[in-house]
């Protein structure tokens, strides 16, 4: 809304080894012997953690989601993506999950690029769906402007 856009304009979400629940990430950091202060700092303080966590906004109107995660990710636990995917599905939202066996955190992008038949083609289909929705929204806005 700050930039003149609303939730209705978001057509899809593509999550790559993401932090979907910041409190869970902080617990992961503490379990590794770290404070996780950098996470709090990035969020602008503890008071923003809930509002900055995508899991806060899961509901039946959540946009179509595709999550990818490597099972060897030491930065963000795989469980975070699995839990977020389950939360989306339980809410009735369309969600896909793709596991990259042996994939780490940042390297998963290269894994996804190398897996052309499965990931890129599926991703292309996903983004074409998103593009079509955006086109529909834009055409609708143009028609509304002309009518006014």
d(C-alpha 132, C-alpha 125), whole Å:
11
Half-sphere exposure of 136 (CA within 13 A, CB side): 10
State the average pLDDT for the chain.
Answer: 85
Residues whose CB falls within 8 Å of the CB of residue 100, separated by 6 or more in sequence, listed in order: 68, 69, 70, 71, 108, 111, 112, 115
Structure tokens at 5: 């856009």
- pLDDT tens profile 40-68: 999 899 999 999 999 998 988 888 899 99
Tell me if the pTM is above 0.95. no
- pLDDT tens profile 1-34: 456 767 677 888 889 899 999 999 999 999 999 9
- pLDDT tens profile 115-129: 656 666 777 777 788
């Amino acid at each position: 809304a700050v930039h003149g856009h609303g939730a209705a304009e978001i057509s899809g979400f593509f999550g790559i080894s993401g932090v979907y629940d910041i409190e869970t990430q902080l617990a992961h950091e503490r379990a590794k012997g770290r404070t996780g202060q950098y996470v709090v700092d990035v969020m602008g303080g503890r008071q923003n953690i809930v509002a900055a966590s995508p899991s806060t906004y899961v509901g039946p109107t959540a946009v179509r989601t595709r999550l990818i995660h490597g099972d060897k990710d030491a930065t963000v636990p795989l469980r975070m993506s699995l839990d977020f995917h389950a939360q989306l599905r339980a809410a009735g939202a369309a969600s896909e999950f793709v596991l990259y066996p042996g994939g780490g955190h940042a390297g998963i992008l290269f894994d996804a690029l190398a897996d052309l038949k499965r990931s890129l083609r599926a991703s292309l289909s996903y983004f074409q769906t998103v593009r079509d929705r955006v086109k529909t929204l834009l055409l609708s806005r143009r028609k509304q402007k002309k009518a006014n």
